[in-house]
Amino acid sequence: MEYASSHGAGMAFRTLSPEQIREIHSASCRVLEEVGVVVHHDEAADLLKRAGAYTGSDGRTYIPNTLVKRALATAPSRITLYNRLGEPALWLEKSNVYFGTGSDTLVYLDPFTGERRPWQSADVAMALQVVDALPNLDFVMSMGLLSDVDRRMINRAQYALMLKNSIKPQVVIAEDRGTVEDIFEMAAAAAGGKEALKHRPLFVLYCEPTSPLQLPFESVDKLLLAAENRIPVNFACGAVAGASTPITVAGTVVQANAEALCGLVVHQLKNPGAPFLYGYGDSPLDMRTMMAVYAVPEALLLQGCLCDLARYYSLPSWGYAGCGSSKVFDEQAVVEGTMFTLMGALQGCNLMHDVFYIESGRTGCLEMLVLTDEVVSRVRYLLKGVNTTPEYLAVEAIMRVGPGGNFLGDEHTARHFRESWGSTLSDFNNYETWAAGGSKTMGTRIREKLREIMDNYRPTPLAPDTEREIDGILRRAEERLGG
């Protein structure tokens, strides 16, 4: 078994001390017990009541700490995600780190013309193929909100495109229970049946509470459905610090943690032992522009907190990488995307999404995909740490070469030089050689790589019978919805 990324000895970043972790956990439990939540779902409210929660005349449900403890005791500490070929691909546990795209951006930024326009199905299909081709991106999401299909069918159509254009594991957005049921059916067609899919999950379902402290019907309905079918799921607050959560990082973590734990309690009451992914995010409100912004230092600190809490709870973690608030693929985009990716890896966040988001998630940028693929390659090399076995300490090689010599012709160099990190994008020539090759900037090389992938890469196709079955599921959904 080979993990995509695991931390080498000592190569990690921790944000909270053990005492701070206990303080945050205690504060979140106080919020659930003393402030309460509003549950807009009868079955979930009944599950909580029968387990010992109290619903007051104010409509709030107050959740005792014992339910949190019980849920943490039954939730699994690892989740394995499989690819479309039925192979184990992602092991979500400890500090393993994986990277993938985001979903539902509104604007497609054409990498060759700079045009901004709504996503079409062909754009999403091509973007998914680019992700499938890039070796350091591990999972796919739906990329863009389709403008050329019935709006009630968008999530279903997106999922069919994900299955047809990539074999990689998936994270799925769905507007309601019916959409999840159709997506589950399509995934089962690709995985060899519903029981096989439960045993070898192909996707994680992404659900959110409504902050502050509300459990909306649609999200809880999907959460319960995921528990029933053992679909890995999160319940991840999308905080806007200063608006939907407190302005401070610690305050946002306390509330977001309370909301995630509340989702976990409901989920484990429905089906103890079902897989749950712990996490949330923060796009703090910039008080100068009144915009929710990505990849600022506060967001990175919050992600560090949630990773430390996830390890404290022994739960797999969910977070962000490779995204930012720049409007185009410029220096700001590179700084924000690179910092988020490196920090997320050092923090040991298991499943990081939103690679390719710019404009705080409104626009999808394929150049960011290719750039982040390179950044992840560098990061994974870093995470290996330093080998200090005798062969790598190289004392014998130093003795052979001696003072004033060089290592170019030594056998030790010959044995190990291929282990050095290599790049397919970065240029390490001198200026004259670089100029003779056309003076290509990183941006130019990225667009050339995109063109090469778009013109030549073809994903592993679905079996014809499976593709017909998926198309049939889409057709029946359209008929059911009156399309």
Per-residue pLDDT at 482: 83
Q: Does some domain include residue 225? A: yes
Cβ contacts of 231 within 8 Å, gap of 6 or more: 180, 184, 198, 201, 203, 204, 205, 225, 275
State pLDDT tens for residues 251-281.
999 999 999 999 999 999 999 999 999 999 9
Cβ contacts of 165 within 8 Å, gap of 6 or more: 125, 128, 129, 132, 459
Q: Does some domain include residue 241? A: yes
Q: Does some domain include residue 429? A: no
Q: Does some domain include residue 184? A: yes
Pairing of strands 291-292, 98-101: unpaired
Q: Does some domain include residue 464? A: no
Q: Does some domain include residue 435? A: no
Number of domains in the chain: 1
Q: Does some domain include residue 394? A: no
What CATH number corresponds to the domain at position 107?
3.20.20.480
CB–CB of 318/236 below 8 Å? Answer: yes
Q: Does some domain include residue 16? A: no
CB–CB of 114/139 below 8 Å? Answer: no
State pLDDT tens for residues 52-99.
999 999 999 999 999 999 999 999 999 999 999 999 999 999 989 999
Per-residue pLDDT at 270: 98
For residue 210, give its domain range. 71-384
Low-confidence ranges of the chain (pLDDT < 50): 1-2
